[in-house]
């Protein structure tokens, strides 16, 4: 059965507290949830946590669950803040809502799209998933802005990140669409690339907004 959102929040708060104090337990008052909250029962019944004298510790299954919950939370933060460009308090709230949607499978897709990031926007570690290990093993080079490609390098367009609708329309009209192969011909003084049979020149600002899945050379 799926955990309640409140229970997931407790696991996250525990993970963060333990990460910060390095003592192997989280003090009850650090969790920000009333001690008589039913979510604590939910977690103890499933043998996820143990509460003793105001100290909460993970049991092995709970630690596993906490790890994947914090992973989803921090990936959601990256997605909301970096890709959707929503920051500040509103970004934090959205990340908290969004993480619950990143269940099995979806988190790997988001992680891959973000190029398997090591840290959240606050600099905290994102526990790696199978997708990250697999990417490292297979030499997948991940997704980078067009500006990171070397002249002559080929890749595939992953996504375009721009707030400017006109620019987006221009790119789409040029055939710069996710999934299309792209070949960077020249990177200075402007970026010249080929998509399909056409060649295009864009400035660095626009090149930074086009994200490319690199292929192994």
Which residues are at the interface with Zn ion (CB under 5 A)? 77, 111, 116, 120, 122, 129, 131-132
Judged by CB, which is closer to Zn ion: 83, or 192? 83
What residues does 56 pair with on adjacent strands? 26, 51
Q: 108 in helix, strand or coil?
A: helix
Instruction: Find the shortest distance in angstroms from Cβ 73 to Zn ion.
Output: 7
| CB 17, CB 31: distance < 8 Å | yes
Instruction: Find the shortest distance in angstroms from Cβ 16 to Zn ion.
Output: 9
Half-sphere exposure of 78 (CA within 13 A, CB side): 23
Judged by CB, which is closer to Zn ion: 9, or 202? 9
Instruction: Find the shortest distance in angstroms from Cβ 78 to Zn ion.
Output: 8
Query: d(Cα 117, Cα 88) in Å, to the nearest integer?
Result: 20
Judged by CB, which is closer to Zn ion: 124, or 183? 124
CA distances from residue 112 to 37, 47, 134, 146, 173 in whole angstroms, order as listed: 36, 32, 10, 17, 27
Judged by CB, which is closer to Zn ion: 115, or 187? 115
Instruction: Find the shortest distance in angstroms from Cβ 49 to Zn ion.
Output: 22
Instruction: Find the shortest distance in angstroms from Cβ 112 to Zn ion.
Output: 6
Per DSSP, 33 falls in state: S
Residue among 94, 39, 89 nearest 62 (CA): 39
Judged by CB, which is closer to Zn ion: 131, or 168? 131
Residue among 129, 19, 23, 30 nearest 71 (CA): 129
**Ramachandran region, residue 49 (left: φ > 0; alpha: ψ -120 to 50; beta: rest):** beta
Instruction: Find the shortest distance in angstroms from Cβ 129 to Zn ion.
Output: 5
Residue among 34, 33, 64 nearest 48 (CA): 64
Judged by CB, which is closer to Zn ion: 26, or 73? 73
């Amino acid at each position: 059965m799926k955990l309640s959102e409140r229970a997931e929040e407790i696991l996250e708060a525990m993970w963060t507290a333990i990460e910060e104090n390095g003592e192997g337990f989280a003090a009850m008052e650090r969790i920000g949830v009333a001690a008589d909250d039913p979510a604590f029962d939910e977690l103890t019944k499933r043998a996820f946590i143990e509460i003793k004298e105001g100290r909460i510790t993970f049991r092995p299954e709970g630690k596993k669950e906490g790890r994947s919950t914090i992973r989803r939370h921090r990936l959601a933060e990256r997605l909301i803040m970096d890709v959707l460009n929503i920051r500040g308090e509103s970004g934090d709230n959205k990340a908290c809502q969004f993480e619950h949607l990143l269940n099995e499978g979806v988190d790997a897709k988001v992680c891959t799209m973000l190029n398997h990031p090591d840290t959240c926007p606050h600099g905290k570690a994102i526990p790696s998933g199978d997708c990250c290990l697999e990417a490292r093993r297979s030499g997948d080079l991940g997704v980078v802005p067009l500006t990171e490609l070397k002249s002559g390098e080929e890749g595939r367009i992953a996504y375009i990140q721009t707030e400017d609708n006109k620019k987006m329309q221009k790119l789409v009209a040029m055939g710069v669409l996710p999934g299309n192969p792209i070949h960077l011909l020249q990177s200075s003084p402007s970026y010249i690339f080929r998509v399909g049979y056409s060649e295009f020149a864009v400035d660095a600002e626009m090149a930074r907004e086009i994200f490319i899945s690199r292929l192994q050379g």
